[in-house]
Structure 1
Amino acid sequence: MSKVDRRILKTQEALKTAVIELMAEKNFDDITIQDLSDRANVSRGTIYLHYMDKYDLLDKLIETHINELRKRCKAPAEVDFVKGSLIWTEYFESNYSFFSLMLASKGAPFFRNRFLEFLVGEFQNEVDNTQGRNFELNKDLVVQFLASSYVGVVEWWFTNERPVTHQVLAEQLGTLLERICE
């Protein structure tokens, strides 16, 4: 695997930071390439060397965070729902500016759908409808309910500016997941 030039990484990071900062100030649709260029202190041409447009930049930023959450899902089998939720809520906390913009504002409504789609995929293997509490329930319905609920609670947490700590959020989400999935 070839090593990526540090200058490229630095430019891409500056652009990702710029888009988040600008989205905190105004609607994404109102952000121009010139705004991004000015904020990141790079030329417009440099932006187009890395991204097709501002939508591509935002899409890559979203994909970076979804991939990081996916990577964190690959936890050892002995991790229960509470510990697994803590892994995620720590990530939400450490990337507060991104997630709060994506979930608590009108900045990027398509992020919510991507996050939901990701969670549906992750929860697909957690729901067993062949026995227990979910016996004979429609598995797709249960998974959709679970993923939608999870997104809704995380969205509530950001919208209300973290009314509980990320540890409490993880503990309670994990407990709820255990009740539904076991």
Structure 2
Amino acid sequence: MTKVDRRILKTQETLKKAVLELMAEKRFDGITIQDLSDRANVSRGTIYLHYMDKYDLLDKLIESHINELRERCEAAADMDFISGSLIWTEYFEHNYSFFSMMLASKGAPYFRNRFLDFLLEEFRDEVDVTKGKNQGLSEDLTVRFVATAYVGVVEWWFTNDKPIPHQTLAKQLGTLLERNCN
């Protein structure tokens, strides 16, 4: 495995932080490379050494969080829904600024769809339409219902500035998942 230079990692982290800070101030479409350059205190050329454009930077930032959630899903594979949800809500809590920015009105409009696509993929294996309450229902419809509801609740939690503790969110989401996936 190739070791990445710490200076490269530091520059990339600085640029990711800068884009989030700028998104707190204005819509993503209004952010320029010069804005990023000024905020991160790097040259425009440095930005282009690491990313093709601002969309590439945002895509990489989003993908890093989706990949982390995917790894947490794999780690929680043998857990019940409540314990698995706690792992996620702890991650949401720890990365509050990113998720609240992405799910708030000034956030990247395509993040919600990317997050939903990820959840559709993850919940596909969890929904069972061969027995129980979901027997005879369309698998696609049921998976979409569960994933969309999950996104909606997480979005509500962030846009309302965490009205309940993340542990309570995890317990209630886990309970709802158990009711709707089995």
TM tier relative to shorter chain: over 0.9
**Deviating more after overlay: 101-110 vs 123-132:** 101-110
State the one-letter code of the partner of 1:86: L
TM-score normalised by structure 2 residue count: 0.98
Aligned length: 182
Alignment root-mean-square deviation, CA:
0.8
Deviation at 1:41, TM superposition (A): 1.0
- TM-superposed CA distance for 1:79, in Å, is 1.0
> 1:157 corresponds to which residue?
157
**Aligned residue number for residue 144 of structure 1:** 144
Q: Residue deviations 1:27-63, cap 9 Å, x none?
A: 1111110110111111100000000000000000000
Deviation of residue 78 (structure 1)?
A: 3.5
Measure the CA separation in 2 of the matches of 1:22 and 1:175: 37
Q: Tell me, which stretches of 5 or more residues in structure 2 are unaligned?
A: none
More off after superposition, 97-106 vs 2-11: 97-106
Structure 2 counterpart of 1:59: 59
Deviant stretches of 4+, over 4 Å: none
SS of alignment partner, residue 74 of structure 1 = helix
Give the secondary structure class of the aligned counterpart of 2:75: coil
Aligned to 2:100: 100
Structure 1 position 107, deviation (Å): 2.0
Give the equivalent residue in structure 2 for 1:22: 22
Q: Return 5+ residue gaps in structure 1 as ranges.
A: none
Say whether 1:116 aligns with 2:116. Answer: yes
- The one-letter amino acid of 2:4's match is V
For residue 181 of structure 1, report the CA deviation from its aligned partner: 1.2
Deviation at 1:76, TM superposition (A): 4.7
TM-score, L = length of structure 1: 0.98
1:54-96 Cα offsets, whole Å, 9 max, x none, are 0000000000000000000012544110010000000000000
Are the equivalent residues in 1 in contact too, given 2:23–2:106 (CA < 8 A)?
Answer: no
> Could you tell me how far apart the structure 1 residues matched to 2:179 and 2:144 are?
16
Distance 1:83 1:117 in 2: 22
How far 1:97 sits from its partner (Å)?
Answer: 0.5
1:86 corresponds in structure 2 to 86
Question: 1: CA distance between counterparts of 2:57 and 2:75?
Answer: 29
